[in-house]
Amino acid sequence: AAGVIQSPRHLIKEKRETATLKCYPIPRHDTVYWYQQGPGQDPQFLISFYEKMQSDKGSIPDRFSAQQFSDYHSELNMSSLELGDSALYFCASSLQGPAEKLFFGSGTQLSVL
Amino acid sequence: AQSVSQHNHHVILSEAASLELGCNYSYGGTVNLFWYVQYPGQHLQLLLKYFSGDPLVKGIKGFEAEFIKSKFSFNLRKPSVQWSDTAEYFCAVNAPDTGRRALTFGSGTRLQVQP
């Protein structure tokens, strides 16, 4: 069965550079969530989209932005990267409803040097 | 806003030992509760979830959790752990009546099972 696809798997950037992370949800899923997991830390919610509209916002820095496109894939854009942005970024998708279940991608490991 | 506390940061058990990982949340309204597992080098996977009904929830791989509303707890249990259960376990909550569906995670418990 198709799963949540994230690309790239690994990304190395330098300070002040920009990065774009992509997430392709499971087909027919209408909601995407982005999480940031720093080394040894619990996942922190960044932002979510439902039907291509931002539905919730967490601890996403102003330097980051995200959107969901017409084909439901989502991109997380990160500018002016800082060393502290080094983390695992993973997205999850779901289909809204009473039995909603999140499916997680494998994540993008971002290293900022 | 809701928050989640996992008091056991690192647990070391021998194979066949029983497991109980604590999870407490703070929110007075209706909650959905989840346990996720993250095996080394892998993404989070759902172990089990509670939305309503029977407070004793059974999940995959022999795990279960009990929702005790009066104690704001959702502890994870397994009668007999295996070496392959070595992983990080996250408790999570969301509060559907707030309109916020994003999960709030606990800090995780690292379980190490020794053969």
A101 min Cα distance to partner chain B (Å) = 8
Contacts of A54-59 with CB under 8 Å at 24 or more apart are A55/A31, A55/B101, A56/B100, A56/B101, A56/B102, A58/B102
d(CA B88, CA B65) in angstroms, rounded, equals 16
Which residues in A lie closer than 8 A to residue B42 (C-beta atoms)?
106
pLDDT digit string, tens, across residues A33-89: 999 988 767 688 899 998 999 988 888 999 999 999 999 999 999 999 999 999 989
The CA-based angle B33-B34-B38, given to 5 degrees, is 160
User: Is residue A18's pLDDT more than 90?
Assistant: yes
Which pLDDT score is estimated for B38? Answer: 78
Q: Which one of B46, B100, B107 has the shortest CB-CB distance to A101?
A: B46
What residue of A is the nearest CA neighbor of B44? Answer: A104
Which residues in B lie closer than 8 A to residue A33 (C-beta atoms)?
102-103
User: Is residue B46's pLDDT more than 80?
Assistant: yes
What residue of B is the nearest CA neighbor of A108? Answer: B43
Comparing A25-29, B26-30, B76-80, B95-99, the range with the smallest average pLDDT is B95-99
Which pLDDT score is estimated for B44? Answer: 75
Which pLDDT score is estimated for B96? Answer: 77
